[in-house]
Amino acid sequence: MLTKRIIPCLDVKNGRTVKGINFKNLRDAGDPVELAKIYAEQGADELVFLDITATINQRKTMCNWVSEVAQALDIPFTVGGGISSVQDVEVLLKLGADKMAINSAAVKNPQLISEMSLAFGSQCVVVAADAKQIDNEWFIYLNGGTLKTKWRLFDWVKEAEQRGAGEILFTSMDHDGTKNGFALEALNKLNNLINIPIIASGGAGTMSHFKDAFQIGHADAALAASVFHFGEISIPELKQYLKNQKIAIRL
């Protein structure tokens, strides 16, 4: 049985880690490199760094902190934000990143998923799906959650899988930062729909929420930000709790 993964997420803006609610009202959470070191020492399985204003500001992911993070870490990490070509991926991989998260660029040009998968392998390609529920339908949003698309979540993830995505990072915008739990029904449906790993994101507030993401939502990994950044949940305690709940986890 594959072990479930705990993944702290660091949203980076102007070189600082920030966190908000429903993608808004951002507050400072610290230096991304220093936080990365702490999480690695605490036993995080992976890290995700999202340059959250790169697409909106039409610039590339900041390369300086990616290189610093790579030098500081011995666990895999994913980088996202402003990635729009195979050349962008090549630069970030050379700087030490392990995976690339693509969202807006993939929706605008789905062929990019295929190109990245062919060039670097599907294990490198994480398709980030930011979605919001409207009249019982989940729709994909772009540009940091500011632009609604015509893509329905479940159609889009199937398309992404067929084009070579290695993982889906599903963030429920309705749950993001609320600490009321993950979107379990949607996670469960995604699990039944596709055959690639699903990372649950949006809504973690208690250790039981992580348990539910794995046992009810059948997620392969659970991602969270503020509960880790502000010391509300410690990774070692969370992992021990999950192990006690008979969930396969790496201590």
Each residue's pLDDT tens digit, 73-95: 999 999 998 899 999 999 999 99
Mean pLDDT calculated for residue range 168-175: 95
Largest CA distance in the chain: 46
Q: Residues of the chain with pLDDT > 90: what percent?
A: 69
166's CB contacts (< 8 A; 6+ apart) are: 99, 117, 121, 122, 123, 124, 125, 126, 196, 197
Q: Say whether 176 is catalytic.
A: no
CATH level 3 topology of 5-244: TIM Barrel (3.20.20)
Q: Say whether 51 is catalytic.
A: no
For residue 170, pLDDT over 50 is answered with: yes
Q: Residues of the chain with pLDDT > 70: what percent?
A: 88
For residue 24, pLDDT over 50 is answered with: no
Q: In this predicted structure, what is the pLDDT of residue 30?
A: 67
123's CB contacts (< 8 A; 6+ apart) are: 99, 166
H helical segments located in the chain? 32-42, 63-72, 86-95, 104-108, 111-120, 153-162, 184-193, 207-215, 226-229, 235-244
| pLDDT band (50, 70, 90) for residue 181 | very high
Catalytic residue among 51, 98, 130, 176: 130
Mean pLDDT calculated for residue range 183-204: 97
Q: In this predicted structure, what is the pLDDT of residue 1?
A: 65
DSSP β-ladder status, 16-21 and 5-13: antiparallel
Q: In this predicted structure, what is the pLDDT of residue 94?
A: 92
For residue 19, pLDDT over 80 is answered with: no
Q: At what angle do helices 63-72 and 32-42 cross, to 10 degrees?
A: 30
Mean pLDDT calculated for residue range 114-127: 98
pTM confidence score: 0.91
CB-based contact 168:202 (threshold 8 Å): no
Query: CA angle, corner 91, sides to 85 and 94, nearest 5?
Result: 140
Q: In this predicted structure, what is the pLDDT of residue 18?
A: 63
* More confident of the two residues 12 and 131: 131
Q: Report d(CA 9, CA 20) in Å as an integer.
A: 12
The residue whose two tokens read 């190109």 is 115
For residue 57, pLDDT over 90 is answered with: no
Q: What is the DSSP letter of 3?
A: P
Mean per-residue pLDDT of the chain: 89
For residue 40, pLDDT over 80 is answered with: yes
Q: In this predicted structure, what is the pLDDT of residue 96?
A: 93
| pLDDT band (50, 70, 90) for residue 51 | confident
Q: In this predicted structure, what is the pLDDT of residue 22?
A: 46
For residue 20, pLDDT over 80 is answered with: no
